[in-house]
Structure 1
Amino acid sequence: MAQRVVLHVGTMKSGTSFLQNVLGENKALLAERGVLFPGRRWRRQVRAVKELIAHGGPGQPPMPADGPWQQLVDEIRAWPGTAVVSMEYLAPRDEGQIQRIRKAFPQSRVEAVVTCRDLGRNVPAMWLESVQNGGTTAWPDFVAALGDRKDESAVASRFWRHQDVPTIAARWAKGLQRGAVSLVTVPPPGAPDDLLWRRFAEVLGISAEGTRLDVRSNPSIDLPSALLLLELNRHLRPDGRGELPPFYDRQVKHQLAKRGLSLRAGGGQRLGYDDPWARAQGEEQVTRLRKGRHRVVGDLDELRPRPVPGLQPADLPTEDVLAAAIDALGIALDRWARVRAGQDEGDQE
């Protein structure tokens, strides 16, 4: 049975993809240092957490006896040291689900790590992410909705479910043993590239030295690409609520956006953000987190929003969006040609 089960629960857009890739690319080195990153691939953890969320609770179907979650639990139970699971979907779990997780490891100390980044960077990052997931809400409407937690469009509820760091940390602290929650703050721009990993490794109780950090990141798309995708989403979902086409997740989100437009040569104009409301919310979060007395690796002052340089959509020349559209067409044609060539060689993708 693992002595410690460390759950990296998010939050979204707080360096989670980077840390997940570092953990996955250094599995063997971590194992030598007593840390298990379970699952042959990180996707196994994603499937396990999704199954945990959808099964076993009130009104839900029973948890499969040999499904992805139980397989993950069995692998962790067989490990003698520390096991770490990293999945952002864990952040908004309620107290009942937290208890179910804790009971799955009765002889282990279960801990939660909340990585967190300032709202100044996370508000635009969450909008950009929403557009890559089929969202049809314009940037000004997105920003305006965040102050209304009863917003009928659910923009605010989705945002705060993953970005209300004090509430997330307090809920996990209530469900776990005393002192079992650690906050890891994301360093500000200009900090050393390895600093976030060093902070996370400190929580794990291992040396950060010798770890391969040249892993695939999750770069953000630029503002022209975001506006292009916004119009595409509105074309695919004219009412803003319909189902996305089956191809969207793989072909638009991953192939076109994350592996294509995010890598545009030189990048385009970035989305800027500087809002007194965000600064006030950031101050409130810092105050609440200090009162929570959680372990902090980093500095809570880093959660105070600073201006993010860039343009607003209304100030962006139409030519920039057209350039993004031309790049997108080239990416799609290249992808189509490679798939066709693969099919000719027997690839049934």
Structure 2
Amino acid sequence: MAQRVILHVGAMKSGTSYLQRLLFLNRDRLADQGVLVPGNAWPDQVRAVSEVLERKRVVAAPPEGAWQGMVDEIGAASGTAVISMEFLGPAAAAKIERVVSSFPTGTVEVVVTARDLGRSIPAMWQETLKNGRFLPYDEYVAAIADRDGLGRRFWREQDVAGICERWSAAVGVDRMTLVTVPTPGAPSTLLWERFASTLGVDPAGFAEPGPTNESLGAASAEVLRLLNERVEGMAYGEYARKVKQQLAKRVLAKRRGEEPGVGYEPSPWLRERAGQLVEQLRGSGIRVVGDLAELTPLAVSGARPGGLPPEEQLAAAVAAIEGLVRASGNGKSAD
């Protein structure tokens, strides 16, 4: 049995996709340093975690025994094993206990990565769009301030102090680590270097993944939002394949350099809430890798999607149609 089982539980939009791709890209190098990344590919971890958490909104139902299969793979290993899945972060206490109790007492350690809320808000709004929601951006920001509707969901997934509190209740504060996401302008490998320290590996020489889970420009995001209103009710599996993966990630994401991004200027209420979170974390006794000052909300330059000129939305919509036509014409995904 692995002597250490590290659960990287999120938070969402805190460099998780980058770290997950890096882990699987470098599985052999990690194995040489005594770290197992279970599963043949990251979707195996998605399916396993989806099963143990009993998630309903999935592309396809995970095969029965997916979680136990991963537990067994870790059980046959030695050294350190790492599972990285941001769905774990907002889990309720009962499901956290189910996950932790799958492994021998004292083996589980939890890593939480956290990014400042200023950058998280526009990123999380886009994540709702990529999963079929269509709340306008300004209304989404207001819902976060009011903790209403999708705003409540935002705080379940972004209240890192709450996430740390729930998980530390199950594993103990001494087995918790918070890794802060560096601010813009920091070396591109710094997040990996910080995360690697939680695994106990030398971060040098690891292959870097390509762009991961790229954000959309403001016009493309608004086009996606308007489309979601019209395809509401589509089965999630079909939506994920046709809209999330094909249109959003493979077509619209390519326009990111051609249009302004989604902007956000932190409001006083957000700065106050972020300050409260930092104080909670500082007083929790949880180990911090990085600097809690990096959780101070940052402004994000860009545009308000709802205020864009119609011609910008039209350009994004035409580009979306072109991308889909070209993909269907050659019988391949719009890569």
Q: TM-score range by the shorter chain?
A: over 0.9
SS of the counterpart of 1:20?
helix
Gaps of 5+ in 2: 56-61
CA distance in 2, matches of 1:178, 1:320: 49
- One of 284, 292, 295 as aligned partner of 1:300: 292
TM-score by length of 1: 0.89
Tell me the residue number matched to 2:271: 279
Q: Which has the higher mean CA deviation after the structures are superposed, 173-182 or 217-226?
A: 173-182
1:236–1:244 contact (8 Å) kept in structure 2: no
Once the two structures are TM-superposed, the CA of residue 100 in structure 1 deviates from its matched residue by: 2.1
Tell me the residue number matched to 1:36: 36
Once the two structures are TM-superposed, the CA of residue 244 in structure 1 deviates from its matched residue by: 4.5
Q: Which has the higher mean CA deviation after the structures are superposed, 1-10 or 210-219?
A: 210-219
Once the two structures are TM-superposed, the CA of residue 212 in structure 1 deviates from its matched residue by: 0.3
Tell me the residue number matched to 2:201: 206
1:2–1:76 contact (8 Å) kept in structure 2: yes
Q: Which has the higher mean CA deviation after the structures are superposed, 46-55 or 216-225?
A: 46-55
1:254 counterpart = 2:245: yes
* One-letter amino acid of the counterpart of residue 45, structure 2: Q
* One-letter amino acid of the counterpart of residue 214, structure 1: P
* One-letter amino acid of the counterpart of residue 32, structure 1: D
- For this pair of structures, how many residues does the alignment match? 326
TM-aligned CA distance change 1:296 to 1:332, over 3 Å? same
Once the two structures are TM-superposed, the CA of residue 99 in structure 1 deviates from its matched residue by: 2.2
SS of the counterpart of 2:112?
strand
> 1:117-196 to 2 correspondence within 5 Å?
117-149=115-147, 151=148, 154-196=149-191
CA distance in 2, matches of 1:327, 1:234: 19
- One of 309, 329, 332 as aligned partner of 1:337: 329
Q: Which has the higher mean CA deviation after the structures are superposed, 261-270 or 10-19?
A: 261-270
2:136–2:306 contact (8 Å) kept in structure 1: no
SS of the counterpart of 2:47?
helix
Per-residue deviation, residues 49-83 of structure 1 (Å, max 9, x unmatched): 1110119xxxxxxx99x610010000001111000
TM-score by length of 2: 0.93
TM-aligned CA distance change 1:224 to 1:277, over 3 Å? same
Larger Rg: 1
> 1:86-125 to 2 correspondence within 5 Å?
86-106=84-104, 109-125=107-123
CA distance in 2, matches of 1:102, 1:246: 29
1:322 counterpart = 2:314: yes
TM-aligned CA distance change 1:245 to 1:276, over 3 Å? same
2:119–2:300 contact (8 Å) kept in structure 1: yes
Gaps of 5+ in 1: 56-62, 342-349
1:22–1:215 contact (8 Å) kept in structure 2: no
CA distance in 1, matches of 2:150, 2:202: 40
